[in-house]
Amino acid sequence: MSTYASEYKSKLRTADEAVKVVKSGDQVSYGHFAMAPKALDAALAKRAGEVSDVRIKAVMPLFVPQPVLADPQKKSFTYSSGHFSPFDRKLAEKSLSYYVPSNFGFTPFIARRGWSKPSDVLMIMTTPMDKDGFFNFSTSCSETMALCEMAQHIIVEVNEKAPLALGGEQNCIHISRIDGIVENTEPIFTLPAEFEASEEEKRIAEHIISKIEDGACLQFGIGGLPSVIGKLIAESDLKDLGIHSEMMADCFVDLYEQGKITGNKKNVDKGRMTYTFAVGSQRLYDFIDNNPACASYPVDLINMPARIAMNDKQIAINNAVQVDLYGQVNSESSGFKNISGTGGQLEFTLGAEWSKGGASFICMTSTTIKGGERVSRIVPYFSPGTIVTCPRGCVSNIVTEFGIANMMGKPTYERAELLIDIAHPDFRDDLIKAASEQRIWTRTNKIG
């Protein structure tokens, strides 16, 4: 630390001083998820009315960006997100947030190829500087290094509570490349360690757990389903499991501490739990901190289907909003309303299917409540504005509480039949009628 102490001191700023580098017309990018820079965000909001046409880009910040609230007329700031959080959704309802579509694994080379405007100012949260002058990207490796390479100015918001996430690669930046340093001691965002799973989700988990074998390599998304799957694995005889997952989840910590996860059967990063970002409880962050059992990589490596497929028995478990009778999957919108984002679902679906002995599972409860009424998640066709996250030719296993339907290699009429069989019984007759009207399938006359 003493080697770089004077340089650190010379670059140390208050948040208000640091954001003065932002000029009208600039592109400002934030760190992702729990590493979005909260102190710098608040300071930037104070410049509403002073600057104009500043475009802010984030990826699922876990707080409401203050510049948006400070400038609802969007004269100073326009805000976009690469994956909607609940906060982003509420802002979008007021036309204050815009979505940036992309497969998550594409984002580093989108930045490096200049397909999106390079950041004039990049603001990221990091761990404190180490003795060699490096700041660790902590829980959000993702596309951070690619953004650093392209940015004109880099400001780090140092937080002593951020866990040190070992790599991997491209998971830290040297002080020589940094223009400003801000210190913040506020606790980073946490989620509950466990989600309350519904009875339907528990049945879905039971269907999936029957397909997992010893030595499998797991990828889970966020929510109640991974939590209950983790509990079932903990109660099972499964062993020598590995982790190669976009997101590092709390349930992985439980399984590791119970000896279920060893990584010994992995072909790549043997013995290590590999991921690109982590969001969860303080216990999860404490587990990641300086732990050689974990390895943080940039998202273009973690989400690369060919790399995913290098580990045998890769299991990908992700959620969906709707599936139509053709086998198309919508995991990110409700008609014209953007809910979340494309993320890495398609990439892990492909990678798991290419893996030797692997499988992908797209999961959803058979029904949901919409406008006060219960509706089927399996629909005859998508309504206008609905986004296809996974095209039908890439989809394998669709799972509801009523079973698993494997779409791969099936003709259209058989896909419809399989999906109707796992739909809620109350909606099956309507789906049969719709399939017939669409000339997909009827029980008495199969039409390809």
Kind of pairing, strands 333-334 and 337-338?
antiparallel
Longest CA–CA span in the chain (Å) reads 81
Tokens of 325: 């009778």
160 is catalytic: no
Do the Cβ atoms of 215 and 312 come closer than 8 Å? yes
End-to-end CA distance of the chain: give it in Å, rounded: 69
Do the Cβ atoms of 37 and 48 come closer than 8 Å? no
- Strands annotated E in 210-252: 217-220, 242-243, 247-248
Phi-psi region of 128 (alpha: psi -120 to 50; beta: other; left: phi over 0): beta
Rounded CA separation 101/111 (Å): 14
Angle at 278 between CA 214 and CA 159, to 5 degrees: 145
Tokens of 234: 């903990």
Among candidate residues 94, 47, 98, 103, the one with its CA nearest the CA of residue 75: 47
Rounded CA separation 87/427 (Å): 33
Among candidate residues 206, 145, 131, the one with its CA nearest the CA of residue 173: 145
Burial of 167 per CB tally in 10 Å (0-12, 13-18, 19+): middle
CA distances from 313 to 182, 212, 231, 304 (A): 44, 8, 20, 16
Name, in order, each residue with C-beta under 8 angstroms of 154's C-beta and a sequence gap of 6 or more: 121, 122, 124, 148, 173, 177, 178, 179, 180
Torsion of CA 306, 246, 218, 424, to 10 degrees: -110
Q: Which of 143, 201, 246, 401 is catalytic?
A: 246
Q: List active site positions.
A: 246
